[in-house]
Amino acid sequence: MGGVWMFKDGVTRLVENPLAEPVDNRNMTGVRRKVLVHVATNEAITNYDQLEQRLREKGWTRYYAGDSNLRQYHKSDSSNDLISLPKSFAYIKTMHMYDIVVKVPNSFSVRDS
């Protein structure tokens, strides 16, 4: 059994994946976690249902013909723009968030959590 022993608020516990565990809104490397925010509503996007709704409002639709290990969205059949994301929302990284920000301008931003 591997992991790291963490001590917080007088309690010791074994954390198997310390890079995924938050420590005061930071991961074990001391880097703040990022969150994708819908600018118009100031809403943090925390799942694919929320993201898909906001993308649909901007004319993006789910693309099913691509890689089955990815969740993809495209602007239209005549456009080459494609947003490719991990199959599970839990694996979205900052680079994926910035890809959305660039391809859907003025709608999303990336902020510290």
Q: Which two tokens stand for residue 22?
A: 């938050």
Output the six-digit token pair for 60: 């993006």
Domain at 68, CATH number: 3.30.920
Instruction: Output the pLDDT for position 94.
Output: 92
For residues 55 and 5, membership in a common domain is answered with no
- DSSP H/E element including 94: helix 94-103
Record the pTM: 0.70
Q: What is the pLDDT of residue 21?
A: 53
41 and 82 both lie in a single domain: yes
Torsional sign, CA 61, 84, 87, 50: negative
Number of domains in the chain: 2
Q: Are 71 and 48 in a shared domain? A: yes
CA distance 51 to 44: 10
* Per-residue pLDDT in tens (0 to 9) along the chain, 113 residues: 567 777 777 777 777 765 655 555 555 555 578 999 999 999 999 999 999 999 999 999 998 887 888 999 998 766 788 999 999 999 999 999 999 999 998 999 999 88
Residues 104 and 59 occupy one common structural domain: yes
Domain ranges, residue 42: 33-112
